[in-house]
Every structure is written in C-alpha cells, then in structure tokens.
Amino acid sequence: MLRKAYIALLLFLSLGVQGQKTLIPNVSNYHLTWTTLNPAFSGYRDAISLSSLYQSGLYGGSGPQNMQVNMHSPVGNSKVGLGAVVSYNTSPPDDGMYALMTTYAYRIYLGTGRLSFGMSAGLYGVRSDINNLNIKNPGDASFPEDVYSRWSPNFGVGVLYYTERLYVGVSVPELLAVPGANQSLGANMEDYRIIGIGAYRFDISPSFQLKPSVMLDYSRASWAFKASLNAGLFQKNKVFIGAAYEHPNYIIALLNIQVNPKWLVGYAYTMGTGKVRTALGGSHEIVLRWELRPTIKTIDEDPFYF
C-alpha cells in the first residue's frame, strides 16, 4: 500500500512538472542528444551526426517513455548548421505526444571558439484518452470523454559558446504551451522551461580524460539540477564511464563505448535514492550514434566528446 502511495505521489508531482506538457525528455545521457535541448548545438560536431534514443519509464514502469531520432550537420564550410528531431513520448494510461522539429544554428568564430545562435520550429501532436481513468465525477468538463487529438506549432531558441575544451549555453526549447482540451494555443513567459548547461574537459594524459558537466532545468513549476562526471579511457577515448546525480531523487550510471570512428553506443541506468527508491524503480536508456565526417575536416579526428 505504501509503495502505491509513493507512486501516486510521484506521478502527481510529475504531472505538475509537466503541466504545460513537454516533449523535452529528462534524459540521463544528455551529452549525446544535445539539439533536443538547445538548437544552437546543430552542426557543432562538424559531422553528419545521427542518433536514436530509447528511455524506459520510471515509477515502476508507470512513468513516461521517450523515443527520439536526432540528426544535425554543418552545411558545407558555411557558418550554418541544420538538424531535425523526431520525438515520441507516451505516458500511462493512454497519453501520447509527438514532435517533428527542425533546428537551425548560425555559428561565428569568437576567440578560440565559436558562438552559436540557434532556433527550432516544427509541429507538436498530442493524443489523450482518459477513458481508462477512474473519474470521481463523470461528465466533468475537465475530463472529456472523447479521445483528444491535436497538432500545433512550436518553436525554440538557444545560444551556445564552445571550444575544444568547454561549452556553456542556455535555451528555451519550447516557446508555446501545448494546448489541452478546450484550451487555445498561446505562450506564457512565466511558464517557460529554461535549460542552462556547461562542461569542461581536463586532459590528464593521452589515455585519460575527465569531463564534468552540469545542467540546470528550471520552470516556475519546478527545477532540477543534474551534475555528471565522465572519464575517458584508452587511446582516443574508446570508452567513457561516468556517473551523474540529479537533485533531489536520482543517481545515474553511465557507459559509452566508441565502437569505431562512426558508431557509438551509450547506456545509462537511473535509480531512485532515499526513502522512495523502491517506488521509483529503475530506468534504462540506450543511445546509438552514427557519424560521417566530411572530406574537408574542420576539427580533429578525435572530436570534442560532448
């Protein structure tokens, strides 16, 4: 009974956090799918970069699941980077969201690095069927009996500065609220989700690197702080092992393997901490990344990992 109460409470808090409805997943291995969080990352790896992500649900499997395909690339030797993101999120009992977004970045050289300005634009779709819920007052207008389905536009903006050793950026990935039933499309700056990120690479030796990073995810409804530390092992960083902590409920184990110059496999396991750890359950996350570098290379073969 206590476990069920914890799960109900956590789901309620999760819905409160996502009251605006969001398709920006709270991923653990966020280093590999950056353009979802900040469109200014488009083209930053100076390669055709294609990644896919699957994240299983927390809360004993009762939480949302996320899937996405992410692609971005520089446009020749220009200052422009382009990308696209296809996302799907499903939340029990029957609530699904879809996104088809394009990303654009304009990058200029500044000092030893680049300053990138990004924006995203596309469509969000939502499909909700609450007939599986046990509603106390049937007929309540807040809980429509018909399946709710709708598509609406959305946009995002971001700015980023990065070098071969560091990056720092801030973004608002969703400028419009996803309208629910009987709601009109609109924006409220007070409800914006603001994501700040930063990281630095320490070269300890040719075969060992340390890469700490932080992410602050803030909105009026809630905020989350995530800090991670990845260690690159072996020549040209074939294996990365790491850990992350997300305030206040999660610890995360990370493993990323560069199989060959084109393929990378990433895995993360998220688990709850404290008294609610048994109710939270665990979440698995898998990322596959494929990259093709152009004939004209603008960065080293062993690129900045983030």
Q: In the block, which residue shows the tokens 């007939």?
A: 131
Mean pLDDT of the 95-111 span = 92
Q: Is residue 169 part of a domain?
A: yes
Q: Is residue 303 part of a domain?
A: no
Q: Is residue 299 part of a domain?
A: no
Q: What is the pLDDT of residues 6-15, one digit of tens each?
A: 333 333 333 3
Q: What is the pLDDT of residues 154-210, one digit of tens each?
A: 999 999 999 988 999 999 999 988 776 666 677 777 778 899 999 998 988 888 888
Q: Is residue 59 part of a domain?
A: yes
Whole-angstrom distance, CA of residue 69 vs CA of residue 283:
19
CA atoms within 13 A on the CB side of 52: 3
* Confidence bin at 283 (pLDDT 50/70/90): confident
CATH code at position 122: 2.40.160.40
Q: Is residue 117 part of a domain?
A: yes
Tally of domains within the chain: 1
Whole-angstrom distance, CA of residue 23 vs CA of residue 173:
9
| 22: nearest Cα among 245, 168, 217, 276 | 217
Q: What is the pLDDT of residues 40-96, one digit of tens each?
A: 999 988 889 999 999 887 655 556 788 999 999 999 889 999 999 999 988 765 578
Other Cβ atoms closer than 10 A to 158: 26
Domain that holds residue 65: 2-292
Instruction: Supply 89's token pair.
Output: 């999120």
Other Cβ atoms closer than 10 A to 220: 14
| 36: nearest Cα among 52, 24, 48, 22 | 24
Q: Is residue 21 part of a domain?
A: yes
Q: Is residue 177 part of a domain?
A: yes
Q: Is residue 297 part of a domain?
A: no
Q: In the block, which residue shows the tokens 């304009």?
A: 106
Q: Exposure pattern of 282-294 as b/e (b: 16+ CB <10 Å)? A: ebebebbbebebe
Whole-angstrom distance, CA of residue 278 vs CA of residue 261:
40
